A and B are shown apart, each in its own frame.
Chain A
Amino acid sequence: GESVGLHLPTLSVQEGDNSIINCAYSNSASDYFIWYKQESGKGPQFIIDIRSNMDKRQGQRVTVLLNKTVKHLSLQIAATQPGDSAVYFCAENMGGGSYIPTFGRGTSLIVHP
């Protein structure tokens, strides 16, 4: 398989558990945040996004929480499934009207059956 998951922070969970993946962002002026999922050998896939005027947004089985005070973003996955195993990236748009996001290193999620 591809090596994009090497040396990344890793979260191991059991199938059915809830997963929380964390991300610290760098710029207090960032106004838009995105979570992507990247499976081995594939490109990142959009999961959910949130704007800086919100602190929570829910999707199907996923919730993103934004804490602007401590510049922290988290992705919660409910009832984690083996198909959720992947590398998860957060990205921040640093504002100023231009969308060139900055990506974090990623977290590898391993779901055990």
Chain B
Amino acid sequence: DGGITQSPKYLFRKEGQNVTLSCEQNLNHDAMYWYRQDPGQGLRLIYYSQIVNDFQKGDIAEGYSVSREKKESFPLTVTSAQKNPTAFYLCASSIALRGLQPQHFGDGTRLSIL
């Protein structure tokens, strides 16, 4: 079955540490996205990528970095500069950035601070 796989499901970060969240899709989608979800809030866009080797900042990119070296993969690094990283992180993909079609989501990674 095609889908989006996020790993790990739970992740713990120590002070001053960078951590990387994995996102892999086998849907052959061009566009990929990273969202942050906090309790009682909607999804906020961190970064998105329209195509391989291209990515753009979303609304809350500070303290995060991404890469898009392969179509299937869009890892997110939460750097030590992100002072409030505790949240539920969701990766999504869509056929293309332009056009009217829904996003497909992974099952998220919950990041907590040790």
Number of A residues near B (Cβ < 8 Å) is 30
Q: Is A45 an interface residue (CB 8 A)?
A: yes
Contact residues in A for B101 (Cβ distance below 8 Å): 99
**Residues A44 and B90 in contact, CB atoms below 8 Å apart:** yes
Which one of B39, B43, B88 contacts A103 once the chains associate, using CB atoms below 8 Å?
B43
Which chain A residues in 55-113 approach chain B with CB under 8 Å? 89, 93, 97-106
**Residues B105 and A4 in contact, CB atoms below 8 Å apart:** no
**Residues A99 and B94 in contact, CB atoms below 8 Å apart:** yes
**Residues B42 and A98 in contact, CB atoms below 8 Å apart:** no
Which residue of A is nearest B56, CB measured? A100
Which one of B42, B48, B98, B110 contacts A2 once the chains associate, using CB atoms below 8 Å?
B110
Which chain B residues in 84-114 approach chain A with CB under 8 Å? 88, 90, 92, 94, 96-108, 110
Which chain B residues in 50-99 approach chain A with CB under 8 Å? 58, 88, 90, 92, 94, 96-99
Bound-complex Cα distance A4 to B90 (A): 12
Which residue of B is nearest A106, CB measured? B42
Q: Is B45 an interface residue (CB 8 A)?
A: yes
New A-B contacts (17) at CB < 8 Å, excluding given A2-B88, A43-B105, A99-B31: A3-B39, A4-B37, A7-B39, A31-B100, A34-B103, A36-B102, A41-B107, A43-B92, A49-B100, A51-B100, A89-B43, A99-B98, A99-B99, A99-B100, A100-B45, A105-B41, A105-B42
Q: List 29 A-B contacts (CB under 8 A).
A: A4-B37, A7-B39, A8-B40, A32-B100, A36-B105, A41-B107, A42-B107, A42-B108, A43-B4, A43-B6, A43-B105, A43-B107, A43-B108, A44-B105, A45-B105, A46-B103, A46-B104, A49-B100, A49-B102, A51-B100, A89-B42, A93-B100, A99-B94, A99-B99, A100-B45, A102-B42, A105-B40, A105-B42, A106-B42
